[in-house]
Amino acid sequence: MDETLPDCDAITVPVPSVSITTEDRFIALSKTDITHIVIQLTDRRLDSIMESVGVQYEFNKPWPFWFFIGKIVSKAFFNNDQQLEWLNTVRIRTREFIAFTNAGRKETDSNQKLQVIEVDFAKPQPGKELELFWKPARGLISQKVQEWLDLSTSSSSLEQRDQEQYKAQ
């Protein structure tokens, strides 16, 4: 890890290949329709994933590792490790829910329905590529993503209003 770089680029090892699986009933979901991805990882799983790529996980400074996990998933789904943008992270006990926005998705209608998926990683096996499993997100997960989007939109609107008021003075 190169601590002189921004968190999103601090882990400099190559982004590994990943095999993707899902239930047959979800295969028809087009990757281009995915608006957000929420990755859930236990501390132990995140540590073992990072160990499998030769990087020691630092529990006190998780941001570079969240970005790197996003790059792994982005490469797996979109063949581009830069397509996912970090949205938010929530920790519940020993599990982290790391949310990303699909920045490569072309918005055609601002009222389009969110298409959120959840991703879980299998335990890394020595000598094998990483494996992940995905499924459409549960209602609670999609609701949280919508709340984060609403919050960021309202924060942006308030900042813009404050800047306009400042300029008017």
69 token code pair: 């996990």
Percent of the chain with pLDDT over 90: 56
Position 83 scores a pLDDT of 93
pLDDT tens across 38-71, in order? 999 999 999 999 999 998 888 888 889 999 999 9
Query: Whole-prediction pTM value?
Result: 0.84
Q: What residue spans define the domains of the chain? A: 7-168
Residues 6+ apart with CB under 8 A from 84: 37, 70, 71, 73, 74, 78, 100, 101, 102, 103
Distance CA 97, CA 143 (A): 13
What is the per-residue pLDDT across 126-140, written as a single tens digit (0 to 9) for each? 889 999 999 999 999
Give tens-digit pLDDT for 2-22: 888 888 888 889 999 999 999
Nearest partner of 29 among 154, 115, 121, judged by Cα: 115
Tens of pLDDT, residues 70-125: 999 999 999 999 999 999 999 999 899 999 999 987 665 556 688 999 999 999 99
